């Protein structure tokens, strides 16, 4: 990409898409194309075709998706599968049709088999069924990633895909029902601190190990891959570091300044014991993350405090 290239970010109002827009602007890319969900429903092929015919993007970051928590995914697997298939198919095929120079499709770690060997290597993709609760979403994402590979194989277009670790940061959802683990902990400890609640109860025993990637680092990796990677296989993007949920909980309480106690409800499920990406491929490409977890949680908490509308939900 050069700084005048026409760059389209699909899903620019989302957490990841908005971080990509911020990163592109920071790096001096001045020709950014965006369009809201309301203006363009990416499930509609005819509308997507018209959009590409009019806007003629040269580079595309595909960060639009129907995204949801375990509850939403398990209640509506057909919707999560269909919407994400449509979004991926339309973006990828119209990008091919209109001669996009390079296309990056964002996948998800849930594409890996439910009982995948850890750390998860790119070669393990499609060697087993994903977690049952988000199977529809995961399979649609896997199909999008494969379609990029097939377009490259059949037509020689420079279409690539990546698999980022769990992201967190500004723009995250702090919704009581939907929030992922870090924003959920931030909200709970903030409310406990403000309301003087002496103890916070967390689910499970705190032993599962997880990996987290600050969203601005994820965005930085997207631009890096766009400029430095060409290949059929998707690329894992992570920190290569893991933390137990117990240590993450204590770290979040410390950042928020919550001084009460934390207890564990061991009658609640733990989830998978370990989910860590193998990042040797990204390391060989020369990319690494910048933001350590404590700093990232502090920045996410600032975002929570400065966005009362999101904090109220
Ligand atoms: N968050 C993570 O931890 C994470 C980790 C790895 C990979 N990713 C990948 O990053 C991508 C975005 O995730 P995110 O966390 O940024 O999700 P998000 O905050 O929910 O953003 C999704 C974006 O897609 C848009 N969108 C959804 N359906 C659409 C449709 N039919 N037509 C047009 N736009 C539509 C949304 O617009 P509206 O809000 O207006 O509907 C929003 O801008 C996903 O592909 C996901 O697989 C995310």
Any idea where the domains of the chain sit in the sequence? 7-312
Q: Tens digits of per-residue pLDDT, 164-180?
A: 999 999 999 998 777 88
Mutation pick for ligand 1 pocket among 20, 40, 62, 64 (CB with most ligand atoms within 8 Å): 64
**Residue 205: other Cβ atoms inside 10 A:** 14
Question: How far apart are the CA of 190 and the centre of ligand 1, in A?
Answer: 26
Q: Are strands 32-33 and 7-10 parallel, antiparallel or unpaired?
A: parallel
> Of ligand 1's atoms, which has the minimum distance to the CA of residue 168?
3
pTM (2 decimals)? 0.96
Please tell me the predicted confidence (pLDDT) of residue 310: 55
Three-class DSSP category at 262: strand
Please tell me the predicted confidence (pLDDT) of residue 309: 57
Q: Which of 129-133, 203-207, 270-274 comes out lowest in average pLDDT?
A: 270-274
Mutation pick for ligand 1 pocket among 13, 14, 181, 221 (CB with most ligand atoms within 8 Å): 14
Give the rounded percent of residues in the chain with a pLDDT score beyond 70.
98
Q: How confident is the model at residue 312 (pLDDT cuts 50, 70, 90)?
A: low
Question: How far apart are the CA of 70 and the centre of ligand 1, in A?
Answer: 15
Cα(215)–Cα(232) distance, integer angstroms: 24
> Of ligand 1's atoms, which has the minimum distance to the CA of residue 15?
16
Q: Are strands 209-210 and 274-275 parallel, antiparallel or unpaired?
A: parallel
In angstroms, how far is the first alpha carbon of the chain from the final one?
A: 38
Question: How far apart are the CA of 54 and the centre of ligand 1, in A?
Answer: 23
Please tell me the predicted confidence (pLDDT) of residue 211: 97
Q: Tens digits of per-residue pLDDT, 213-246?
A: 999 999 999 999 999 999 999 999 999 999 999 9
Question: How far apart are the CA of 197 and the centre of ligand 1, in A?
Answer: 34
* Neighbour-count burial for 241-254, b at 16+ CB within 10 Å, e otherwise: ebbebbebbebbbe
Inter-residue contact 201 to 263 (CB < 8 Å): yes
The residue whose CA has the least distance to atom 38 of ligand 1 is 37
pLDDT over 80 at 203, yes or no: yes
Inter-residue contact 46 to 20 (CB < 8 Å): no
What is the arithmetic mean of pLDDT over 38-66?
Answer: 98
Q: Is the dihedral of CA 112, 116, 121, 125 positive or negative?
A: negative
Contacts of 283 (CB under 8 A, 6+ apart): 240
Catalytic residue among 8, 29, 112, 137: 137
Q: Is 289 annotated in the active site?
A: no
What's the topology of domain 7-312?
Rossmann fold (3.40.50)
Q: Tens digits of per-residue pLDDT, 65-113?
A: 999 888 888 899 999 999 999 999 999 999 999 999 999 999 999 999 9
In Å, what is the CA distance from 208 to each residue of 247, 269, 281, 304? 10, 10, 25, 25
């Amino acid at each position: 990409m050069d700084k005048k290239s026409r760059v389209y970010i699909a899903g620019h109002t989302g957490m990841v898409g908005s971080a990509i827009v911020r990163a592109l602007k920071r790096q001096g890319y001045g020709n950014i194309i965006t369009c809201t969900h309301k203006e363009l429903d990416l499930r509609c092929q005819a509308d997507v075709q018209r959009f590409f015919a009019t806007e003629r993007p040269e580079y595309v970051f595909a960060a639009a998706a129907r995204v949801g928590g375990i509850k939403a995914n398990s209640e509506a697997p057909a919707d999560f599968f269909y919407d994400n298939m449509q979004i991926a198919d339309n973006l990828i095929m119209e990008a091919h049709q209109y001669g996009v120079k390079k296309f990056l499709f964002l996948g998800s770690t849930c594409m890996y088999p439910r009982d995948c060997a850890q750390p998860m290597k790119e070669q393990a993709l499609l060697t087993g069924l994903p977690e049952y609760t988000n199977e529809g979403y995961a399979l649609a994402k896997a199909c999008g990633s494969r379609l990029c590979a097939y377009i490259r194989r059949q037509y020689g277009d420079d279409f690539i895909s990546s698999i980022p670790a769990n992201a967190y940061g500004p723009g995250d959802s702090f919704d009581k029902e939907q929030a992922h683990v870090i924003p959920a902990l931030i909200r709970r400890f903030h409310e406990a601190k403000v309301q003087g609640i002496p103890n916070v109860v967390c689910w499970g025993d705190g032993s599962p190990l997880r990996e987290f990637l600050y969203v601005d680092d994820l965005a930085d990796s997207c631009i890096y891959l766009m400029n430095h990677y060409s290949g059929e296989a998707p690329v894992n993007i992570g920190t290569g570091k893991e933390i137990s949920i117990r240590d993450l909980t204590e770290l979040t309480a410390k950042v928020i300044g919550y001084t009460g106690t934390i207890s564990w409800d061991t009658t609640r499920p733990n989830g998978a014991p370990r989910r860590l990406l193998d990042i040797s491929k990204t390391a060989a490409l020369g990319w690494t993350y910048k933001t350590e977890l404590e700093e990232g949680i502090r920045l996410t908490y600032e975002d929570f405090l400065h966005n009362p509308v999101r904090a109220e939900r």
